[in-house]
């Protein structure tokens, strides 16, 4: 029996905002958390926050970590990429060298990056040191959805009511969902190449 990976959500919800929203506080966002199934690399919370007030320069967050303590990270913003994909639909949320693309709603997404990152370590981050040398990195991840999405507030009636009727809903970003996926990918930097699945 086939599983409906949309969970009954309209496929158009997978597309990103094509144009700047009128509300300067409204945002569109895509984030991936990828963990290698061999424990050799992690890409926790790589995301883009596209806020109406700063629509021409989306916020970017990158994190790549290795078991030996090496970390590559980036916090900043970059010029927004056009939302239209090859088919003309708003399938791309990107800025600077980072891009997320919906290939097929509730089935396949990709995440790519090519650009600079700060090279640091988990020990330095724990100590509060966030700077380090800038190095070039790149990665490509293909995500295949594994289960239907979890819709925020759908597990308990009081949570749904609170999200719809209080300031908590606005703080949490309004209607949103998360979806578990499997991933294949590759990370590169300075002569290193790491393929991974997770």
Q: Is residue 83 part of a domain?
A: yes
Residue 52 domain-assigned? yes
Q: What is the pLDDT at residue 150? A: 87
Secondary structure in 3-state letters for the chain: CCCCCCCCCCHHHHCCCCCCCCCCCCEEEEEEEEECCCCCCEEEEEEEEEEHHHCCEEEEEEEEECCCCEEEEEEEEEEECCCECCCCCECEEEECCEEEEEEECCCEEEEEEEEEEEEEEHHHHHCCCCCCCEEEEEEEEEEEECCCCEECCCCCHHHHHHHHHCHHHHHCCCCCEECCEEEEEEEEECCEEEEEEC
Q: Is residue 7 part of a domain?
A: no
Model pLDDT, residue 114? 98
Q: Is residue 13 part of a domain?
A: no
Structural domain harbouring 112: 19-191
Domain-located, residue 198: no
Give this prediction's pTM.
Answer: 0.91
Q: How many domains does the chain have?
A: 1
**44 found inside a domain:** yes
Q: What is the pLDDT of residue 109?
A: 99
Residue 168 lies in a domain: yes
Report yes or no on 4 lying in a domain: no
| Tens digit of each residue's pLDDT, the chain (198 residues) | 788 999 999 999 999 999 999 999 888 999 999 999 999 999 999 999 999 999 999 999 999 999 999 999 999 999 999 999 999 999 999 999 999 999 999 999 999 999 999 999 999 999 999 999 999 999 999 999 999 998 876 556 665 666 666 665 555 555 678 999 999 999 999 989 999 999
Q: What is the pLDDT of residue 2?
A: 83
């Amino acid at each position: 029996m086939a599983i409906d990976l949309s969970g009954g959500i309209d496929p158009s919800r997978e597309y990103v905002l094509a144009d700047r929203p009128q509300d300067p506080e409204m945002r569109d966002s895509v984030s991936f958390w990828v963990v290698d199934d061999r424990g050799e690399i992690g890409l926790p919370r790589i995301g883009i926050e596209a806020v109406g007030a700063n629509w021409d320069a989306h916020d970017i967050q990158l994190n790549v970590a290795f078991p030996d303590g090496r970390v590559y990270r980036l916090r900043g913003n970059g010029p927004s990429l056009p939302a239209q994909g090859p088919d003309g639909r708003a399938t791309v949320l990107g800025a600077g060298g980072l891009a997320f693309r919906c290939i097929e709603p509730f089935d396949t997404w990709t995440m790519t990056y090519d650009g600079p990152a700060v090279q640091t370590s988990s020990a330095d981050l724990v100590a509060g040191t966030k700077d380090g040398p800038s190095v070039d990195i790149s990665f490509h991840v293909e995500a295949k959805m594994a289960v239907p999405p979890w819709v925020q507030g759908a597990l308990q009636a009081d949570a749904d009511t609170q999200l719809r009727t209080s300031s908590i809903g606005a703080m949490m970003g309004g209607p949103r969902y998360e979806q578990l996926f499997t991933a294949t990918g590759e990370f590169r930097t300075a002569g290193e190449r790491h393929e991974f699945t997770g």
